[in-house]
Amino acid sequence: MRLLQASASSIGSKIVIALTGLGLAGFLITHLAGNLLFLVGPEAFNEYSHKLISNPLIYAAEIGLLGIFFLHIAKTVAAVIGNKAARPTGYAVRRWAKTKNPKSRKSVASSSMIATGTIVALFVVTHLATFKFGTFYQTPDGMRDLYRLQLEIFSNPAYVLFYLVAMGILFFHLWHGLVSAMQSLGLDHPQWTPRVMTAGRVLAVVLAAGFFIIPIYTFVLSRSGQ
């Protein structure tokens, strides 16, 4: 009961948004690691995705992921509506923050988070339609040929451009989101906070760079006639 009350409160919502956001970032790390196998070759990439799809635990993982996505979005929407109904009375000044005006810095960041988050959510829907529910090619040994599908998709420069723009927006969402999540979880230490913030920013750069490389690499490969 207390947990429910806490999660309905503004601080509880912030913590849920932060934890689900970090969970989604965790998914992105594993997703990028799996996708980078495309660079190794068709066998490695298709075998990896085949093992993933044929594992019975995948359904539980997918339901869990969907739940995390849903909570992250629902709590953000509720917080936005709640904030409009009753404007918050100022923000705590962080000891480590260099800005002279933390209030305006925070509101610009939160409105850009809503815009970038909405675009990332729309991207995920089209992304699932393209890949997860896209054409089912099969390898001679009966596995799903996701390598062929990806090669086909990114041979189209329009898709490459769309992915690069979406990954750029994802980068901004992660850049603000990872730092903001750690603040919401109460991280406010003069020495440790700047270090953890830097780690969050490095993770945002690594994830965006990794997801940037894949469409470009696949496009070049598709043009080289491999």
Task: Tell me which residues touch ligand HEM (CB under 6 A).
Answer: 31, 35, 49, 52-53, 62, 120, 124, 127-128, 131-132, 146, 150, 163, 170, 211, 214-215
Rounded CA-CA distance 41/222 in Å is: 13
Phi/psi of residue 182, each to 5°?
-70, -30
Question: Based on CB atoms, which residue is closest to ligand HEM, 124 or 187?
Answer: 124
Phi/psi of residue 188, each to 5°?
-155, 70
Minimum CB separation of residue 123 from ligand HEM in Å reads 6
Minimum CB separation of residue 53 from ligand HEM in Å reads 5
Question: Based on CB atoms, which residue is closest to ligand HEM, 68 or 179?
Answer: 68
* DSSP, residue by residue, 118-129: HHHHHHHHHHHH
Residue 77 zone, left/alpha/beta (φ > 0; ψ -120 to 50; rest):
alpha
Minimum CB separation of residue 38 from ligand HEM in Å reads 7
Minimum CB separation of residue 35 from ligand HEM in Å reads 5
Residue type, 156: N
**The total number of residues written for the chain in this structure:** 226
Question: Based on CB atoms, which residue is closest to ligand HEM, 150 or 184?
Answer: 150
Question: Based on CB atoms, which residue is closest to ligand HEM, 49 or 193?
Answer: 49
